């Protein structure tokens, strides 16, 4: 996992994370909608779970890569 995170380019990872976090751009982002559904208990359909993972995963990768970078110094 460490090699995978080190191989990821910061600029590409940040662009992908921001784009997926804010998509779609015309209305409320899916990330906000799905987290709201999760906390209200209405996140039930498989497509909603897929959307939650899809839009959250790049942000998790950014956090993991940042943690790895800070730990290594």
Residue 69, pLDDT > 90, answer: yes
Contact status, residue 19 vs residue 62, Cβ threshold 8 Å: no
Q: What is the mean pLDDT of the chain?
A: 94
d(CA 43, CA 38) in angstroms, rounded, equals 5
In the chain, how long is the greatest CA-to-CA distance?
42
Helices 46-72/10-22 angle, 10° precision:
150
- pTM equals 0.88
Whose tokens are 């090699």? That residue is 3
pLDDT reported for residue 26? 82
Per-residue pLDDT tens for 35-53? 999 999 999 999 999 999 9
Looking at residue 35, its pLDDT comes to: 94
**pLDDT (mean) for 9-29:** 93
CA-based angle 43:48:50, to the nearest 5?
130
């Amino acid at each position: 996992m460490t090699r995978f995170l080190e191989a990821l380019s910061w600029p590409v990872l940040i662009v992908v994370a921001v784009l997926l976090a804010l998509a779609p751009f015309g209305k409320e982002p899916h990330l906000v909608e799905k987290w709201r559904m999760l906390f209200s208990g209405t996140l039930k359909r498989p497509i909603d779970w897929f959307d939650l993972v899809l839009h959250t995963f790049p942000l998790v990768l950014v956090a993991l890569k940042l943690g790895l970078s800070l730990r290594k110094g």
